[in-house]
C-alpha cells in the first residue's frame, strides 16, 4: 500500500499534507525508540503513541516513511516541523495501537495466520 | 588554504583518539618517591625538595594508605610539627587510578578532584607510579607532534572532494534531546550521497544514534567522533561521567538505568548499547565510575569484510 492509501482510511487524520507518497511495505508497532531503531523494517509505517520530535529522527534514520500516532495523542508542532523537513507523513487516530496495527496489517495484505 | 577551518576539529578528534589509545601506565612516572608510615614530615620535606615534587604517597606494604602534599607540609611547618609522623598530617582517603585505565579517565579525574597528582596502582592495589598534569601534557605533546607530522605528509597528497573521507567531533550536552540525532543525520547524509549501500548506512545510523542518545540521556556530556575512510566508519563516544558500574549489565538487552523523564522521551528501553554492539563489526567499551565511559564502534564498508548477517 501507499502512504496515500493510509491517508484515505477514515480512521486517519493526516497531520501533514506534504509528504512523499512512498510505498509502505511493512508495519512496526512500538513506543520505544531504540526498539524501533533496532528492529523496524525499512519502508515500514510506525504505529506508536510516542508523539515526539525524536520519533521523527529515529524514523528518518531507520527508513520509516510514515508515523501513525494512536489514542489521539496530541502531536507537537516541532514534531510536525521535523516531519516536514524529512518528508515523513504523520497521521493521528483515535484508535489504539492494537486496532491500528490490525487495520494496517489488513491493508498490507493480511497478517500471517500464525 | 580553504581547508584551514576544518583543522581544529580534526585535531580535536585526534586528541580524543590519542587519549582513547593511551593507558595511564604509558604516561605516568614510574619512579615514585614514597614514604612509610613511620617517616616524619621532615623526611617528606627532604624528598620534595631534593626531587622537586609536590606530593608523596604514604605506603604500607606497597599499598597506598595516604598522601602528603605540599599543602599538608605547609600546615605542619606552620605548627612546628616537622618531626611528627606523616600519619598525623597525610590525607588518608586517597583517590588512586588503575594503571590499565585509559588516559581520558585520568583527565576526568583531574577535572573532578582538585588533586595535583594521583597515585597509580596495579591490579593488586600496589603503588606502581604517580600521575601529574605534567605527565599528561608531555604525552599529549609528544603524540600530537607525531600525528601532525603524519598529517603533513598526508597533506602532500590532497584528497578528492567527493572521496569517502571524513572526520568530525560533535559535542553533546546532558538532556539536550533537541540536538541528539543531528550528528547521525549528517553522517547518514554524507554516506548516502557517496553511494554507500543503504544497509550499511543504516547500521552506521543505528550505532551513531544510540551513542548520541546515550551521551544525552546518561552522561553529563561528552563528544562523539567520526572517522570515516573508504574501508570503515569509526565512531568514538567519549563522556566525562558518571561512568557505568557494570558494563556487562549495560550490554544486556532490557537493562536500563533511565529515569521516568528519559523514558517519556521514548528512550531507556535498555537496547541502546546492545543495538550498537549488534550492528558493529568491532565494538569496545570501557568505563569507570566517576570518570567516564568510552565506546568505540567500527563498521566496515568494504564488501569482503562486511558481515552480511547484521
Q: Are B226 and B205 in contact (CB under 8 A)?
A: no
Whether residues B104 and B218 share a domain: the answer is no
| CB–CB contact B209 A61 (8 Å) | yes
Q: Count how many domains chain B has.
A: 2
pLDDT at B70 > cutoff 80: yes
Q: Are B240 and B175 in contact (CB under 8 A)?
A: no
Q: Is B279 exposed, middle or buried (0-12, 13-18, 19+ CB in 10 A)?
A: buried
Q: Are B270 and B261 in contact (CB under 8 A)?
A: no
Contacts with B274 from chain A: Cβ below 8 Å = 38
Contacts with B177 from chain A: Cβ below 8 Å = 53-54
Give one DSSP letter per residue of B202-217, joined into a string.
Answer: HHHHHHHHHHHHHHHH
Q: How many CA atoms lie within 13 A of B232 on its CB side?
A: 15
ipTM over 0.95: no
Cell of B4: 584551514
pLDDT of B203-221, one tens digit each? 999 999 999 999 999 998 8
Whether residues B198 and B92 share a domain: the answer is no
Q: Rounded CA gap, A103 and A15, in Å? A: 19
**CATH code of B202's domain:** 3.30.565.10
**Domains in chain A, CATH or no CATH each:** 3-107 (3.40.1390.20)
Residues of A with CB under 8 A from a CB of B: 31-35, 37-38, 42, 50, 52-55, 57-58, 60-63
- Residue B228's alpha-carbon distances to B4, B165, B231, in angstroms, are 19, 5, 8
What is the extent of the structural domain holding B176? 163-305
| CB–CB contact A38 B275 (8 Å) | yes
Give the closest-approach CA distance of B274 to chain A in angstroms: 9
Q: What are phi and psi of B275, to 5 degrees?
A: -60, -45
- Residue B94's alpha-carbon distances to A59, B97, B239, in angstroms, are 48, 10, 24
pLDDT of A57-110, one tens digit each? 999 989 999 999 999 999 999 999 999 998 999 999 999 999 999 999 999 986
Quick one: angle between helices A53-62 and B182-193, nearest 10? 20
| CB–CB contact A62 B185 (8 Å) | no
Instruction: Answer positive or negative: Cα dihedral of B33, B116, B172, B245.
Output: positive
Find, among B282, B300, B281, B275, the residue nearest to A39 by Cα: B275
Indicate the average pLDDT of chain B: 86
| CB–CB contact A61 B177 (8 Å) | no
pLDDT of B216-243, one tens digit each? 999 988 889 899 999 999 999 988 888 8
Contacts with A63 from chain B: Cβ below 8 Å = 198, 202
pLDDT at residue number B288: 85
The 3-state secondary structure of B1-15 reads CCCHHHHHHHHHHHH
Q: Are B98 and B123 in contact (CB under 8 A)?
A: yes
Residue B168 lies in a domain: yes
- Chain B nearest-CA residue for A50: B266
**Residue A19: which pLDDT band, with cuts at 50, 70 and 90?**
confident
Whether residues B132 and B188 share a domain: the answer is no
Whether residues B120 and B223 share a domain: the answer is no
Amino acid at each position: 500500500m501507499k502512504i496515500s492509501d493510509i491517508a484515505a482510511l477514515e480512521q486517519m487524520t493526516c497531520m501533514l499534507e506534504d509528504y512523499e507518497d512512498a510505498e509502505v511495505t511493512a508495519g512496526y508497532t512500538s513506543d520505544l525508540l531504540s526498539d524501533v531503531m533496532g528492529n523496524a523494517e525499512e519502508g515500514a509505517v510506525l504505529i506508536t503513541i510516542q508523539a515526539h520530535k525524536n520519533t521523527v529522527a529515529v524514523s528518518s534514520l531507520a527508513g520509516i516513511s510514515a508515523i501513525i500516532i494512536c489514542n489521539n495523542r496530541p502531536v507537537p508542532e516541532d514534531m510536525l516541523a521535523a516531519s516536514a523537513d524529512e518528508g515523513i507523513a504523520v497521521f493521528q487516530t483515535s484508535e489504539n495501537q492494537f486496532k491500528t496495527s490490525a487495520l494496517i496489517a489488513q491493508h498490507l495484505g493480511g497478517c500471517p495466520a500464525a | 588554504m580553504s581547508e584551514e577551518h576544518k583543522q581544529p576539529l580534526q585535531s580535536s578528534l585526534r586528541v580524543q583518539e590519542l587519549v582513547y589509545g593511551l593507558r595511564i601506565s604509558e604516561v605516568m612516572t614510574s619512579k615514585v618517591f614514597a614514604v612509610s608510615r613511620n617517616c616524619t614530615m621532615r623526611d617528606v620535606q627532604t624528598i620534595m625538595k631534593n626531587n622537586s615534587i609536590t606530593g608523596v604517597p604514604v605506603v604500607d606494604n606497597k599499598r597506598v594508605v595516604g598522601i602528603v602534599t605540599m599543602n599538608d607540609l605547609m600546615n605542619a611547618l606552620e605548627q612546628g610539627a616537622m618531626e611528627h609522623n606523616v600519619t598525623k598530617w597525610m590525607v588518608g582517603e586517597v583517590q588512586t587510578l588503575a594503571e590499565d585505565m585509559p588516559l581520558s579517565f585520568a583527565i576526568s579525574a583531574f577535572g573532578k578532584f582538585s588533586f595535583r597528582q594521583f597515585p597509580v596502582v596495579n591490579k593488586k592495589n600496589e603503588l606502581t607510579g604517580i600521575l601529574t598534569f605534567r605527565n599528561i601534557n608531555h604525552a599529549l605533546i609528544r603524540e600530537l607532534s607525531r600525528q601532525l607530522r603524519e598529517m603533513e605528509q598526508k597533506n602532500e597528497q590532497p584528497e578528492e572532494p567527493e572521496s569517502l573521507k571524513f572526520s568530525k567531533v560533535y559535542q553533546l550536552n546532558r538532556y539536550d534531546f533537541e540536538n541528539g540525532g543531528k550528528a547521525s543525520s549528517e553522517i547518514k547524509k554524507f554516506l548516502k550521497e557517496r553511494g554507500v549501500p543503504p544497509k550499511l548506512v543504516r547500521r552506521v545510523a543505528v550505532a551513531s544514534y544510540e551513542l548520541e542518545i546515550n551521551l544525552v540521556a546518561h552522561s553529563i556530556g561528552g563528544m562523539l567522533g567520526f572517522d570515516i575512510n573508504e574501508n570503515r566508519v569509526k565512531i568514538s563516544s567519549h563522556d566525562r561521567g558518571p561512568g557505568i558500574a557494570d558494563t556487562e549489565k549495560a550490554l544486556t538487552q532490557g537493562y536500563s538505568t533511565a529515569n521516568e523523564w528519559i523514558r517519556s522521551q521514548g528512550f531507556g528501553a535498555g537496547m541502546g548499547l546492545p543495538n550498537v554492539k549488534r550492528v558493529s563489526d568491532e565494538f569496545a567499551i570501557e568505563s569507570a565510575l566517576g570518570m567516564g565511559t568510552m565506546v568505540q564502534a567500527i563498521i566496515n564498508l568494504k564488501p569482503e569484510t562486511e558481515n552480511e548477517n547484521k
